Structure 1
Amino acid sequence: MTTMTHDRPAGLGAVPGRRLLGAPLSPGTWRSYAYLWLVLLLAPLALGYVLLTVLLSAATAVTVVGLYGAGWLVGGGRLWGAVYRGLASRLLGVDVAAPLPRRPRRGPWRTLADAAGWRSMLFMVASIPLALAGLVVSTAFLVMGLGSVTYWSWHRLLPAELAMDDSWHTPGGLAVVAAGGLALVLLWPWVVRLAVVPLTLLTGALLGPTPSSLRIAELERSRAGTVQDADARLRRIERDLHDGTQARLVAVGMQLGEARELLAAGDPATVADLLEIAHASTKDALTELRELARGIHPPALDSGLSVALETLASRAPLPVGVHVGPDVEAPGRLAPAIESIVYFSIAELVTNAAKHARASRIDVRIEAADGDAVRIRVRDDGHGGATVVRPDGSGLRSGLAGLAERVRSVDGVFDLSSPAGGPTVVTMSLPAMRAAADAAARPQDGTS
């Protein structure tokens, strides 16, 4: 989330000597030094803003309107955070993502509950001593270094009580002083670099999104995608029932009604034909219902994941090799919800490989992973180039995006490797969620 791209100030590169001598003139060094100055120049305004926010929050704690004003100031801390992130990005080459947007909350007290705003103000206070110490030390190195290097030219202008001992005013002594000053100047870029390191770490820690907030946002996005996927699936089932099975059953009802009328009129030959048509339509409707039911929950899963995948492989349009580890096949190892996700994910990957990748074979391996997890690896020998987001710059997602969201909705991990020319390897890690095994391990009624 935080990337370091600023220039290296000294001593690093293919020509160490040249880098060392040129480090004091490096743009990266002077940008870092300017960053320390700007942070310190902003310090009085930042400290005043923080004190105003804290004092106003404390003074208006018994009111309602005042709390809204204090909450507005807390939210304003986000703007200060954006300023400091901009300085770090432009001068240090450190890019820190902005915190997640503030959640709308009702109530006067909840206006103050903006963690990102408070964290920004904590940075505003904590950065002052760090910037002051770094600036003082680095400036001391720079001034003393430049002063020592040029001491030979201006030492005669100093009063006797301020000048160095006369023993240093010999050519050899002045050369030693100049050499010491040169060493300080050459060390100055490293001092500046070290001075901005704590501020860089503080910027990433306080001005960016927290890992927990990113995790929550990721879970919310995955769950929203799962809900949309489930809604789309229900709509597809409804459409299939309405346009297919329902229409077919309506036709069967009409045919049976017509057959009853013809039977009353004494035309058994036509009745037999109508009954034959109705019988065939009924069998077609049953076939469609079975396909719909299989799309909701494959009956083969009732016999275990291994059996269901073998059945899926036998129906696939290309050879599919399936290996399920013995630990995964153990009864109660996987919760039913996880088994369904594994089955439908593999079914979708098999369909994609046959339809888009022009693969000739697919290999599926399911094994127990570290901890209470199961790892699924699906590999095809197709032409590769599969992506979750389409690479044409449109931002549109491929069919794998829904699969990735389905995996992440249960705290799983989805990884795609598909270089041009293949092979395509999809690796998924899912929690086993051994609910059935845990329930079986608990003492039964009447036992201990």
Structure 2
Amino acid sequence: MTSLTADRLVAGPAAPSGTARPGPRFLTAPFAHRTWREQGYLALVLLLAPFAFAYAVFAVSFTAGVAVTVVGLVVAGAAVLGGRGWGAAYRSLARDLLDVDVAAPAPYVRPRGFWRTVGSMLSDAAGWRALLFLFIALPLSIVSFVTSITFLGAGLGGLTYWYWYQFLPQQLGADGELHRGAAFGDAYFLDTPPRLALAAVAGLVLLLCWPWITRMFAMIFRALSRGLLSPTRASLRVAELELSRTGTVDHADARLRSIERDLHDGTQARLVSVAMQLGEAREQLAEGGDLHQAADLLDTAHSSTKEALAELRELARDIHPPALDSGLTVALGTLAARSVLPVSVYVDPGLEAHGRLAPAIESIAYFTVAELVGNAATHARAGEVSVLVEPITDAVRIRVRDDGRGGAGTVRPGGQDPRTGLAGLAGRVYSVDGTFDLSSPVGGPTVVTVILPTTSPSSRA
């Protein structure tokens, strides 16, 4: 099954954050690769934390101290942007050792103009969020590593205490005898078989708890990395809209070029031929030539004119279907009547009870249904298609279902061939802040659900 919605797009790259692999079982956790990778992450983070914290303190204090100088502002802005580099390093560690792939923020784009550049550097959200991560990482890394390594060391020490306690120096106990081993006060020594067994049991418990303590701190770092080192929801939305707008502009440009090519190579050539035929017929009549030949030329010119008009009507219908002038319900009914497949259309009466949709929305809705019906006929080998259009809160939902062979797929805008097929449809839907969801398991059925706002983005701005 293929599923694609606008909310699941990544800017780019943008890919959503990954999730950690399933953890090992309780008894085997101390020997699992994941546990030791997480322990290694805590150790490496502790090594990096002092330098990262010093950089963060420098970036903040330097920015505050040199805010009155122009050169200082440039250096401070560069320091803020440098936080992105630290963020990339921590994302790489998280990906390699914590099995979590945190998406990188959108790259910094330098605007035109000196002061706009300085302002964008100093206000770079990704840089400041990375600096905040560096601030938090120092105390968190100290607590996490010390706690984790304490459980590990105490667990191993308790589990092997029965062997190495005999190498400890002797101590005089309260009973006046010499004892060898760990002491709790001056009267309790771990030097008898029951107490050695108790130490081994306590060590085993600590050792079994160690992976889960380590995992708890690793989960905190995962959440912190996702929260501060990944793109914000707003930046993802902006990148997604920019991508969809670009795809829409490219689609419009390609469509205009196609219309120009059809007019130049088809209709224009046909009209030139008509003009030549009419000119030749006029010469025949003016010179008293063969009337039958002139009549044949006029008949040919008449037929060519009607064909040119038909081509112009088809081009106009592709730009704006005349049936849309009477509303989306009538347009979809006309589309169903002209389809080579049996198409059942149901439009909820409440859709137009609250007024017509925005023209741009109606056009996208119509062409979306038209292309899906066409795909069902030409590619899916479907026997019938059903179309449901119903209003929801401040939006309209369109569901097109066919009983074809399924297996349809699409790419997100900006991927391969984003101006064609289902990818082109998705791009047009995204351009007005809509959602596009495709469910097409092999063997069918194929169900496409599109949700469009009732007004265009420009009217909502």
- Compute the TM-score of the two structures, normalised by the length of structure 2: 0.84
Decide which of 350, 355, 367 is 2:373's aligned counterpart: 350
User: What displacement does 1:3 show?
Assistant: 2.4
Q: Aligned ranges for residues 135-174 of structure 1 at < 5 Å? A: 135-152=145-162, 153-154=164-165, 156-157=168-169, 159=171, 163-165=183-185, 166-169=187-190, 170-174=192-196
Decide which of 391, 397, 415 is 1:368's aligned counterpart: 391
Question: For residues 443 and 22 of structure 2, what CA distance do their matches in structure 1 show?
Answer: 37
Paired residue total = 424
Q: Which moved more, 1:334-343 or 1:320-329?
A: 320-329
Aligned-residue RMSD, C-alpha: 2.6
* SS of corresponding position for 2:234: helix
Question: For residues 343 and 389 of structure 2, what CA distance do their matches in structure 1 show?
Answer: 13
Change (3 A) 1:53 1:262: same
Q: What residue is the counterpart of 1:41 in the other structure?
A: 47
Task: Encode CA deviations 1:17-60: one digit per residue, 9 max, x unaligned.
Answer: xxx2x322322222212211111111121122222322332343
One-letter code of the match for 2:86?
W
Decide which of 83, 89, 93 is 1:83's aligned counterpart: 89
User: What displacement does 1:395 show?
Assistant: 4.8
Decide which of 360, 364, 376 is 1:337's aligned counterpart: 360
Q: Aligned ranges for residues 109-124 of structure 1 at < 5 Å? A: 109-124=119-134
Q: Which moved more, 1:239-248 or 1:146-155?
A: 146-155
* SS of corresponding position for 2:433: coil
Question: Is residue 4 of structure 1 aligned with residue 23 of structure 2?
Answer: no
One-letter code of the match for 1:233?
R
* SS of corresponding position for 1:357: coil
User: What displacement does 1:225 show?
Assistant: 0.8
Decide which of 402, 406, 409 is 2:431's aligned counterpart: 409
Q: What residue is the counterpart of 1:291 in the other structure?
A: 314
Counterpart contact for 1:10–1:189, Cα < 8 Å: no
Question: For residues 179 and 223 of structure 1, what CA distance do their matches in structure 2 show?
Answer: 64
Residue identity (%): 58
User: What displacement does 1:95 show?
Assistant: 1.3
Change (3 A) 1:67 1:159: farther
Question: For residues 355 and 6 of structure 1, what CA distance do their matches in structure 2 show?
Answer: 42
* SS of corresponding position for 1:317: coil
One-letter code of the match for 1:154?
Y
One-letter code of the match for 2:183?
A
Q: What residue is the counterpart of 2:331 in the other structure?
A: 308
Structure 2 residues without counterparts, runs of 5 or longer: 1-15, 174-181
Q: Aligned ranges for residues 21-420 of structure 1 at < 5 Å? A: 22-106=28-112, 107=114, 108-152=118-162, 153-154=164-165, 156-157=168-169, 159=171, 163-165=183-185, 166-169=187-190, 170-267=192-289, 269=291, 270-330=293-353, 332-369=355-392, 371-389=393-411, 395=416, 399-420=421-442
One-letter code of the match for 2:47?
L
Q: Which moved more, 1:36-45 or 1:164-173?
A: 164-173
Task: Encode CA deviations 1:414-436: one digit per residue, 9 max, x unaligned.
Answer: 1112222222221111112299x
Counterpart contact for 1:10–1:190, Cα < 8 Å: no
One-letter code of the match for 1:425?
V
Change (3 A) 1:160 1:54: farther
Change (3 A) 1:214 1:168: same
Question: For residues 174 and 49 of structure 1, what CA distance do their matches in structure 2 show?
Answer: 49
Q: Which moved more, 1:256-265 or 1:318-327?
A: 256-265
Change (3 A) 1:383 1:41: same
Question: For residues 122 and 89 of structure 2, what CA distance do their matches in structure 1 show?
Answer: 21
- Compute the TM-score of the two structures, normalised by the length of structure 1: 0.87
Task: Encode CA deviations 1:235-294: one digit per residue, 9 max, x unaligned.
Answer: 111111222222222333333333444443345825444333333222222212111111
Q: Which moved more, 1:262-271 or 1:345-354?
A: 262-271
Q: What residue is the counterpart of 2:179 in the other structure?
A: none
Question: For residues 456 and 133 of structure 2, what CA distance do their matches in structure 1 show?
Answer: 44
* SS of corresponding position for 2:183: coil
Question: For residues 154 and 334 of structure 2, what CA distance do their matches in structure 1 show?
Answer: 80
Task: Encode CA deviations 1:91-130: one digit per residue, 9 max, x unaligned.
Answer: 1111111111112223233232322122111111111111
Question: For residues 55 and 246 of structure 1, what CA distance do their matches in structure 2 show?
Answer: 70
Task: Encode CA deviations 1:126-177: one digit per residue, 9 max, x unaligned.
Answer: 1111111112222232333333334444275265597224344443333333
Q: Which moved more, 1:62-71 or 1:216-225?
A: 62-71
User: What displacement does 1:413 show?
Assistant: 0.8
Q: What residue is the counterpart of 2:11 in the other structure?
A: none
Counterpart contact for 2:30–2:207, Cα < 8 Å: yes
Structure 1 residues without counterparts, runs of 5 or longer: 12-19, 439-448
Counterpart contact for 1:56–1:70, Cα < 8 Å: yes
User: What displacement does 1:208 show?
Assistant: 1.2
One-letter code of the match for 2:251?
D
Question: For residues 372 and 234 of structure 2, what CA distance do their matches in structure 1 show?
Answer: 31
Higher relative contact order (CA 8 A, sep 6+): 2
Counterpart contact for 1:9–1:190, Cα < 8 Å: no
Task: Encode CA deviations 1:322-355: one digit per residue, 9 max, x unaligned.
Answer: 1111122435142221111111111111222212
